[in-house]
Amino acid sequence: MIAWRRAVPEPTDRERAIAAYAAEVRAFHTLFGTVLVVIAVLYVAVVLPFLQTRAAVPLLADERTRIQHEKAVTETALEAATKAARALAEFRDALDSGPAMLRRAIADQVARSRAGAAEPVPLDEAIKQQIGKQIEALGVALDGALGPLRALQNPPAEIAEALRAAEQDLGRHVLSLNEVLREAFAADPAFWQRWDEPGATFGAASPRAEEILREIEQARRAFDRRLATAAAALRSRQPELQSRYAELAARGRDLKERLAGVNSYPWSIPLSLGDLARLFPALAGVLTLMVLFRLRRIIALRRAHEGVSLDLLAPSWVVGSRSTPGAWWALILVCAPLVITIHASVATLGDPGLFVSLLGDPSPGSAVAFGAAYTVLVLMGIVQLPGVTRGLVGAPQRRPQGKTGRVAAG
């Protein structure tokens, strides 16, 4: 009878065990609530805004640099289009005045030949050379219109298209004019006299020359229209780029103000934001492990008190029976600190500028050391998850029958 009483726990021992479990649950609630609030507030209010702002500042700077470069390219292209338009007008003047100039030059050659002046080349060859010089002068005038556009390194699409069309059409027709005038001279050595009338054009030399001149004029007008269209597009683009640049500059100032206000009242902490960003994953990892270890201890205590209505004697909003509707939500809440730790570790390691020496130089060794610490803490937390998951939402584990039989026998 005395031995039987010793085998069966006294009611006071059972009550003390339940009271100890209830105290353990209350302590865990305090710890978990504190850890959850500290990690969430620090990360959401300080660390995450700091990391996001640091990541956004260089992106904005790069975009502003790109827009500044695009503005410079636009201004250069507009200036080139304006120069090309002026030079194209000079080319037209040279095209209009070319027949009269060529006629005078050929007339001088013929007059010297008839006067018996000694010439280094025969008259026919001299006239052909004079035709070549006049067409070469037209080519130089055309190059004056195309040169500013060719000098552009990365011309806008409108400018590139106008230049391509001008080289393909206008340049080709100007070069062919030399051959056409030579053919007119071969067919009629006195062809140049047809330019005696005021306003005569190269087209008066022959029907073929008239056709070529018409094609040159059409290509010139098309080139002039393309230049005007390109210049209008570039002018309309300038206010857009200026507005975009001003917008990005304002956003950059806002980010700097936001960065300056991150570590300020009421979230002011006695650490620099860079130090906090580096230390936060380690701090969150340590606190998360403390929570998981304490939670596994509570789960083990619940198994030791199977058959007792612990949910009534020591209710918990985290650890309860597996049939509780909020069990999955409790598991998600328990996993939240670990998820924040993982995200903070990845985000921090993704910013190499946070790991520097005392002189401000990049410190790969510091990055490796912090990365190793983050990895160890995260892996230790992940190792605890299966046991925590089974304890919160898994199927109940049955105690071995043999052990129960021995207790009953005792």
* Per-residue pLDDT tens over the stretch 87-102: 999 999 999 999 999 9
Our count of domains for the chain comes to: 2
* 220 and 287 in a common domain: no
Confidence of residue 122 (pLDDT cuts 50, 70, 90): confident
* 77 and 52 in a common domain: no
Q: Determine the Cα–Cα distance for residues 107 and 127; give it in Å rounded to an integer.
A: 9
8 Å CB contact between 294 and 21: no
* 154 and 8 in a common domain: no
Asked whether the predicted pLDDT for residue 344 surpasses 90, the reply is yes
Single out the residue in 228, 255, 282 at which a domain terminates.
255
Asked whether the predicted pLDDT for residue 330 surpasses 60, the reply is yes
| pLDDT confidence of residue 10 | 55
| pLDDT confidence of residue 89 | 93
- Tokens matching residue 341: 């730790």
362 bridge partner residues: 356
* 204 and 141 in a common domain: yes
- Unique residue bearing structure tokens 């010297």: 112
Q: What is the DSSP string of 138-195?
A: HHHHHHHHHHHHHT-SS--HHHHHHHHHIIIIIHHHHHHHHHHHHHHHHH-TTGGGGG
Question: CA-CA-CA-CA torsion for 74, 80, 81, 82, nearest 10 degrees?
Answer: 110
Asked whether the predicted pLDDT for residue 370 surpasses 80, the reply is yes
Q: Determine the Cα–Cα distance for residues 40 and 336; give it in Å rounded to an integer.
A: 9
| pLDDT confidence of residue 214 | 93
Q: Which domain holds residue 208?
A: 65-255
37-46: pLDDT as tens digits? 999 988 988 8
* 282 and 225 in a common domain: no
- Arithmetic mean of pLDDT, 294-317: 72
| pLDDT confidence of residue 353 | 82
245-275: pLDDT as tens digits? 888 888 878 777 776 666 566 656 666 788 8
Report the share of the chain in percent with pLDDT over 70.
84
DSSP 204: G
Single out the residue in 233, 255, 277 at which a domain terminates.
255
Name, of 12-16, 48-52, 302-306, 312-316, the range with top average pLDDT.
48-52
- The average confidence (pLDDT) of the chain is 83
Instruction: Say which CATH number the domain at 221 has.
Output: 1.20.120
Cis omega (within 30 of 0) for bond into 266: yes
Confidence of residue 358 (pLDDT cuts 50, 70, 90): low
8 Å CB contact between 144 and 223: no
* 135 and 81 in a common domain: yes
| pLDDT confidence of residue 4 | 41
380-408: pLDDT as tens digits? 999 998 988 887 876 554 444 444 434 33
| pLDDT confidence of residue 95 | 92
| pLDDT confidence of residue 356 | 77
8 Å CB contact between 177 and 217: no
| pLDDT confidence of residue 322 | 63
Q: Determine the Cα–Cα distance for residues 207 and 213; give it in Å rounded to an integer.
A: 10
- Arithmetic mean of pLDDT, 62-85: 91
Q: Determine the Cα–Cα distance for residues 408 and 398; give it in Å rounded to an integer.
A: 16
* 75 and 42 in a common domain: no
Asked whether the predicted pLDDT for residue 80 surpasses 80, the reply is yes
| pLDDT confidence of residue 5 | 43
The Cβ of residue 86 has, within 10 Å, a number of other Cβ atoms equal to: 13
